[in-house]
Amino acid sequence: MRHFLTPMDFSVEEWEELLDLAEDIKKDPKKYAHVAEGKKLATMFYEPSTRTRLSFEAAMLNLGGHVIGFASADSSSAAKGESVSDTIRVISCYADIAAIRHPKEGAALVAAQKSSIPVINAGDGGHQHPTQTLTDLFTIRSLKGRLGNLTIGLCGDLKFGRTVHSLINALTRYDNVRFVLISPEALRLPGYIRTEVLDKKGAEYKEVTDLDSVMPELDILYMTRIQRERFFNEEEYIRLKDSYILDAKKMKLAREDMLVLHPLPRVNEIATEVDDDPRACYFKQAQYGVYARMGLIMTLLGLEAPKC
């Protein structure tokens, strides 16, 4: 039985297969409408979510399966003090696969150790968010036609932003990807990702605080929200929250074919005027997340694609 806890749980070849499957699903979703009939997905969300939870649910329903679950810790037995380990043991009796989001780093791993069904990490604290990465890679591959030979700017909260951590893990496995890490000093990428991932893989990267000056270099600009809920101090959040605001003026500095991605939700970091720019792809990215998650559910449950 396989779990999906970090992007490294799949080899590059498996990633390619999964992205090919998502591509086929995108082309002809109806073909997959009965693939997961009789199967149940449990969504265990201890933290707020719109896209991740609902795109998982939509993905399972699109495959003809069913969904059970809870959307907040308050509405589950966690409110009575039940541990994640006990909850997953019980959910293993009710469902065939589970997606878990939790504010604590490592919670999905703890669940996987006690689970008898595949566990998907739908975000564990400020650590990893591999299914957002699946969405991001699928979006980049679909819109750029490649995952290598790219300069990607990651901008905003690189310290607490789990989507950035997972995306860096995944993209360092492709050739000739250059990273431009744009953040305030206080929200730099954690040292362990610089040394254990970027340096170890020999990836080319630079850290800067100014967005404008690097705009012309980028093939992709991946904007992120300042992660308010992970700050220890509200004053520090208020000081940093508007560090970067992408607006139409800044977009003028970018290449004609640069893509703007964002895992969403957005707060202030992208002005709504940018939404009409053809290079703004974040809503399309949210749509692609459904196809990617359909592919992931099929892969983890060992469900075959229909022949025709």
Q: Which residues in this chain contact ligand NCD in the complex, by CB under 6 A?
A: 51-52, 123, 129, 132, 162-163, 225, 263-265
Name the minimum Å distance from CB 264 to ligand NCD.
5
39 or 293: whose CB is closer to ligand NCD?
293
Q: Burial level of 114, CB count in 10 A (0-12/13-18/19+)?
A: middle
162 included as an active-site residue: no
The count of other CB atoms within 10 Å of the CB of residue 202 is: 7
Of the candidates 101, 159, 162, 194, the residue annotated as catalytic is 101
Of the candidates 6, 43, 52, 163, the residue annotated as catalytic is 52
129 included as an active-site residue: yes
Residue 123 contacts residue 101 (beta carbons within 8 Å): yes
- Please report which residue ranges of the chain form alpha helices under DSSP H: 12-27, 51-62, 84-94, 107-114, 130-144, 162-171, 191-193, 234-240, 248-251, 282-301
The count of other CB atoms within 10 Å of the CB of residue 233 is: 8
Of the candidates 39, 40, 102, 129, the residue annotated as catalytic is 129
Residue 114 contacts residue 60 (beta carbons within 8 Å): no
135 included as an active-site residue: no
Of the candidates 39, 40, 51, 173, the residue annotated as catalytic is 51
Residues in the chain: 308
101 included as an active-site residue: yes
Name the minimum Å distance from CB 229 to ligand NCD.
9
Rounded distance between C-alpha atoms, residue 116 and residue 121, angstroms: 15
Name the minimum Å distance from CB 93 to ligand NCD.
28
51 included as an active-site residue: yes
35 or 140: whose CB is closer to ligand NCD?
140
Name the minimum Å distance from CB 28 to ligand NCD.
26
Catalytic residues: 51-52, 80, 101, 129
